[in-house]
Chains A and B, each alone.
Chain A
């Protein structure tokens, strides 16, 4: 089946630094990938849609200058949390859908990245 790999699985960084998270589709090409965030005891929330070769689309309330998304190839999307602060500590997870699949086709998720900002 379709596999989405996410790296790193966890990261601890100091406040003010930037952190890059990678999301790769291993056995299929994904023109579109999705980035989610989950705070403790809250549900998974879509942050942005990453489009290969064009600008990402951000959900309302998500700062595009803080969460930089780059989708430079058909198998790789990156999320960079810039100038991270403790309130950015969260679980970040990416997903992708197999191309040409139906609208109801399920997404394939990466394993997620636990970010802790100290």
Chain B
């Protein structure tokens, strides 16, 4: 049972435009959500996170939105840059657990077209 789903395996966006990556989850106990970015032959690196008490968190070009009622979160990147081309994983965990207990999605490969 895939508790964290990223239904789009790939996404292509023109440089300078907004990239929107989506993620859905089924476990209502999840209360902390993260996005990781992964380049080929490298491990995932942390990008941005959000707690369930918030509905938005912004860090520079990256904004994560959380819709708890819909069990949906999204990552917005604006403006998109060629260096943003990577695989993006969303992840979630229940309360009182460390991030080692994250449940990951299957990833979305983002390609920024120059």
- Among all A-B residue pairs, the 4 with the closest Cβ atoms: A109-B43, A106-B46, A43-B104, A44-B104
Residues of A within 8 A of B (CB): 4, 6, 9, 32, 34, 41-46, 49, 93, 95, 97, 103-112
Closest to A41 in B: B106
A103 to B100, CA, bound (A): 10
Residues A93 and B43 in contact, CB atoms below 8 Å apart: yes
Between A and B, how many residue pairs show CB distances below 8 Å? 59
What size tier do the contact residues of chain B reach?
Answer: 20 to 34
- B47 CB, min distance to chain A CBs, angstroms: 9
> Once the chains are docked, how many angstroms separate the CA of A42 from the CA of B2?
9
Most buried by A among B2, B51, B89, B104: B104
User: How distant is the Cα of A49 from the Cα of B104 in the complex, in angstroms?
Assistant: 17
**How many angstroms from the CA of A5 to the CA of B113 in the assembled complex?**
31
Taking a contact as CB atoms under 8 Å apart, the answer to whether B43 and A95 are in contact is yes
Asked if A43 and B100 make an inter-chain contact with CB atoms under 8 angstroms apart, the answer reads no
The answer, yes or no, to whether B61 is at the interface (CB within 8 Å) is no
- Docked-complex contact A9 and B41, CB < 8 angstroms: yes
Residues on B with C-beta less than 8 A from A9 are 41
From A107, which residue of chain B is reached at the shortest CB distance? B99
